Chains A and B, each alone.
Chain A
């Protein structure tokens, strides 16, 4: 069944169809919420509440529009609310083993390029960025969101995503003592 069919069924009250949409997007919804809320417990609550609210708001979802950015916007709002309350953020960290996830295919050329010291240096520099720059970098590079999806998460225009990313990379280069 296509995503459009699942949405159409969910709009008619088919909970099983909506459950399938939840399964499709729960990973990215949770990771996005984690990025914004700053911890796993708040992220799980935010993602779950976001899915429930998205279901209730589904009647006004425009047919044919991309579902993922719409959903991520709702989840992000939920995560924002929790972040304001908690007021904390966990820094991004490297996997303890230093390996990529087991079961992944052979590392990409970009992955193979990075030595462990460089990984640590790069991530430490990302963590030192201002929050809006760090978040833009994380959305585009670590969560692999499109510009439209990143705009939904950041709550800004696509053009702003481009300029914010450009500034974030500029700051990152400065942090790393590199030239453009």
Chain B
């Protein structure tokens, strides 16, 4: 066998190995989705799963309505804190990208993305739970808001930076002050990108468990009061999965399926919005 043929075979073989590794990588990821769907579906198919709250083990008709509502409240309050601050910060980073402070802010938000969520939970505990002496939804929202902030900042910056500078220059040439150019001309054009960032942040926050363990804490009852302990979907999955009862484990799989479906739908929708934004920005 001559040298060139050997080189050809080696190349073909290595390509085959890489394809095999790709398939190998996709197997566990496909299995996660498959097991969540197949084990969660029996629970989800009962309508009372979405309308009832937890019941003692052995009593049929248990549901996770309190967890779904709780996640909505937690993430809603967190969004009210994170999105306005994040959007304004993103606008600052894009509009004054030459400022020296902008470099530090960008670095800080990049570092914040990688902060372990459990440490953020400890911070929210020290800041809100310890002084008020009880667990509360608000403290959970504070932790979630800190995790959402960097995502909103960086996607807003990206969306604003996509807007052609001609739009900004025409606004300034007409004599508009800087704040009107930024907030009434540039930001509206960048709204789809900003929405994408907000949605991605909401998706991330909805799935977080660790920072809620000792802030929102969880609650077996239906509660709308954010100043008290409140249940959340990921907490349901975590606590019920570790229980030795089949019915609770099934409930955990059902809650996991609801969580995955929610996160995937939000992500796909935000991608669609982003693609439209990029196309529209090209037309400006």
Partners in one complex: no
B: residues with CB less than 8 A from A are none
A: residues with CB less than 8 A from B are none
